Amino acid sequence: MNLPPNPGTARGRGRGSKRNEEANRGLAPQLGQAPHSSLLAGNESSGGTGDAQVEKTKLSDVQVRMSEGDPRGSMRGRRLITDVVHSRPQGMTTKNGVSGNRITVQTNYFKVLKRPNWTIYQYRVDFTPDVDNTRLRRAFMHEHRSLLGGYIFDGTILFCTNQFQAVQNSPYALELVTKSRAGENIEIKIKAVGSVDAVDAQQFQVLNLILRRAMEGLNLQLVSRNFFDPQAKINLENFRMQLWPGYQTSIRQHESDILLCAEIAHKVMRTDTLYNILSESVRDNDDYQTAFKRAVMGMVILTDYNNKTYRVDDVDFKSTPLSKFNTKEGDISYVDYYKKRYNITIRDFKQPLVVSRPTEKNIRGGNDQPLMIIPELARATGMTDAMRADFRLMKAMSEHTRLTPDRRIERLRMFNRRLKSSKESTETLKSWNIELDSALVEIPARVLPAEKILFGNNKKFVCDARADWTSEFRSSSMYQHVDINRWCVITPGRNLRETQEFVQMCIRAANTMKMNISKPIYDEIRDDRNGTYSQAIDNAVAKDPQIVMVVMRSPNEEKYSCIKKRTCVDRPVPSQVVTLKVIAPRQEKATGLMSIATKVVIQMNAKLMGAPWMISLPLHGLMTVGFDVCHSSKDKNKSYGALVATMDQKESNRYFSSVNEHMKGQELSEHMSLNMTCALKTYREHHGTLPERILFFRDGVGDGQLYQVVNTEVKILKGKLDEIYKSAGKTEGCRMAFIIVSKRINTRYFANNRNPVPGTVVDDVITLPERYDFFLVSQAVRQGTVSPTSYNVIYDNMGLSADRLQILSYKMTHMYYNFSGTVRVPAVCQYAHKLAFLVAESLNRQPSSGLENQLYFL
């Protein structure tokens, strides 16, 4: 049974987002299934940490009174919502730091002035005969609004402040009758399934539902999970694209107040349909079927007639719009279905159908049929790699999406004014006794002391508001360098002259930094085929070089993967890949070539275990560890988790790195404790003892996974480390702090309508009461609004104050050797991401263990 999508059947699956909970619900009328809404799944926003998701709560924490019998209609059945993770240590009087200059910043939060004081009753609503259109269901319920009073109805679940008693000898609290447009009687059966008190954490889900209902009064359009304004769309006509401005919102309990976080968002909407892509494939390719599949596979598409998003999993060239599928009224063709259902006339009867397969969750729920979508009716969303590589397009987009702080603040205030001036919105909020403040929340913040960057010959540079010390290398030597006496350069023969000129520039740049680079051995290859590069690398490695430089004519993902597989797996040797476009640009773009040569030299030095710069670290015996997961874009079933650990940066610039393949979509690592054991072994071999303290930064974790990280990763890791330390005679075990680092958050803060300077930390008001957390802006941006990073300390027995942990975290953002400036996350996290990305995108296998002590992946 291959069915077309209709309202209530979407499987939203955008990049970096989870699929919608209502997948396929209401899809098959003959099965009598009612459409369900993803709004009740606890994913009210885009999935960031801090402010971005509605917290989920344990049954023991929330007293939800479920009626006896059928649990359908409760929040995801009896699984109410995920556990709130209390990471704040008991007895902690304050998680606020004290260092730095105190300032006041504005945030993108509004205070909820009136705290709700009500009990909400929860009901499940069934229609007989079944109505699979959510809009019709809501319209039928709206006819009985005088009886229901204040309510929210998403098509299946009804939240209402009125309590209805069950009808005698019936499981239903209410049984109503309405008429369809055709005059058919529709029975509406309402069954009580639970209640939510104002003291329940579950109330925040309801508050977010109320807010979303209020936002409908702004004439916004719901696309996937967020609201966008099609009336304010920005046409990029030269690129066949539109930008829809919109909002991401979330209400939750913060330190002392309930706050609404509002963030400005933009949806990239392409004006071309899949049919346009099909036509181009037919026009430009002999094998158009293969070309079309390659172009659309994995793409997220939007169907305008029901405003739903889907992921393309396959193309069925045997099916067309004239093909038929089964309904309870009998077989019907797609052409007739869309004409009857949406009054849409399909023009091309010979186009193939696009397939969107059910997720594993859908299958477990009994919805195992694929969705068949008409290319003519599906609009491509998102951006291709070719689009991202188009400088003109990215520049045109950035003019509208990279809002400066003052423009962002004005847009937020405009959102607040619209919400307060819209009659429908104000009535909705008033009916639930909710009132929003008009002013953005202002909070205390601190600017941490500027870090001193240490170069060779005891030279120091105090980091300024630019957080960039690139220019210092013109007059400074690197903190610790490794002379390159043996190295090979592989280059296409006809580009030998350009390569030699760049190498000479690298040698001059190294001399300026007091580093010696000898002349390399050149290997001129006759062509740039993959096999030729592989053979040249084999020949070069036979000469035992310290490093190999490989020159590519132009960026090419396949060639890059071939080179890196050879140098990281088959013939392990540090390698530096450069392209002629970068090292030999056209004359008008050649002014910055010396800067490029300097960066390449710094990178090669770091790969050979040199230290381009250093910072002052107050702690001896400190191991910092970073961990991140990257999902392969080529093979959706594969993910790779990478761990990178320092060997005490105060005394050594050695590292340990390891990477492992994960199960499909798996963020949580089962290999972490094993890799940490290897890292400790390497540390002991180098220093003769175990580290005094371990500072562990874990990236790539969403709110929904915190419970698993705390109760799986941290427990297993801590148990293993304590075992190692006690066997080494340290009876107190391992002293460690485990910190979740999150970049994808909606929180923003501003200093005097400008971006806060690097080192601005916020640890109160907008943080969460159950967490030991803080926000930190560590980098400077030249365009748009800077994004803070969220740090959530979920385990800590290091014996350091909150102030010291904040300062240490900030220090670590200065140590990423691929950029002579600060980065958004601690350097070890960025290294782990770089390694995981290299393996996921290029290697697709474990690198050689012979390189595990070098930063070969930079």
Query: Which domains does the chain possess?
Result: 271-383 (2.170.260.10), 481-607 (3.40.50.2300), 623-851 (3.30.420.10)
Query: How many whole angstroms separate alpha carbon 657 and alpha carbon 679?
Result: 8
Query: How many whole angstroms separate alpha carbon 45 and alpha carbon 225?
Result: 7
Torsion-angle region of residue 290: left (phi > 0), alpha (psi -120 to 50) or beta? alpha
Residue count of the chain: 858
Q: What are the helix (H) ranges across 143-202?
A: 145-148
Strand order in the sheet with 185-197: 151-153, 157-160, 119-128, 185-197, 174-179
pLDDT attached to residue 591: 59
Place of tokens 């186009």: 351
Query: How many whole angstroms separate alpha carbon 350 and alpha carbon 380?
Result: 20
Q: Which of 785, 787, 786 is nearest to 403 (CA)?
A: 785
Q: Low-confidence residues of the chain, pLDDT below 50? A: 1-2, 6-82, 588
Structure tokens at 72: 């359908």
509 and 540 in contact (C-beta within 8 Å)?
A: no
Query: How many whole angstroms separate alpha carbon 220 and alpha carbon 245?
Result: 10
Query: How many whole angstroms separate alpha carbon 1 and alpha carbon 98?
Result: 64
pLDDT attached to residue 150: 76
Query: In Å, how far are 416, 423, 448, 507, 636 from 211, measured between CA atoms?
Result: 12, 14, 37, 61, 35
- What are the backbone angles phi and psi of residue 714, rounded to the nearest 5°? -65, -40
709 and 701 in contact (C-beta within 8 Å)?
A: yes
In sequence order, what are the residues at sequence separation of 6 or more whose Cβ sits closer than 8 angstroms to the Cβ of residue 34?
8, 25, 26, 126, 127, 130, 132, 155, 156
In 132-184 the beta strands, taken as DSSP E runs, fall at: 151-153, 157-160, 174-179
> Which of 699, 763, 773, 796 is an active site residue?
699
In this structure, the number of other CB atoms found within 10 A of the CB of residue 739 comes to 25
699 is catalytic: yes
Q: Is 293 exposed, middle or buried (0-12, 13-18, 19+ CB in 10 A)?
A: middle
pLDDT attached to residue 778: 96
pLDDT attached to residue 198: 65
The letter for the amino acid at 693 is R
Query: How many whole angstroms separate alpha carbon 127 and alpha carbon 146?
Result: 19
Query: How many whole angstroms separate alpha carbon 494 and alpha carbon 120?
Result: 76
DSSP assignment of 797-845: -S---HHHHHHHHHHHTT--TTSSB--SS-HHHHHHHHHHHHIIIII-S
Global pTM?
0.83
pLDDT attached to residue 828: 97
Question: pLDDT per residue over 661-719, tens digit each?
Answer: 887 655 566 788 899 999 999 999 999 999 999 999 999 788 888 888 888 889 999 99
- What are the backbone angles phi and psi of residue 394, rounded to the nearest 5°? -65, -35
Q: What are the helix (H) ranges across 65-159?
A: 134-142, 145-148
Structure tokens at 159: 């939240």
The letter for the amino acid at 596 is I
- Angle made by CA atoms 338, 340, 343, in degrees to the nearest 5: 70
In sequence order, what are the residues at sequence separation of 6 or more whose Cβ sits closer than 8 angstroms to the Cβ of residue 512?
473, 474, 598
pLDDT attached to residue 365: 59
- Angle made by CA atoms 214, 220, 224, in degrees to the nearest 5: 100
628 is catalytic: yes
Query: How many whole angstroms separate alpha carbon 212 and alpha carbon 506?
Result: 57
Question: pLDDT per residue over 374-411, tens digit each?
Answer: 999 998 887 877 788 888 889 889 888 999 999 999 99
pLDDT attached to residue 48: 33
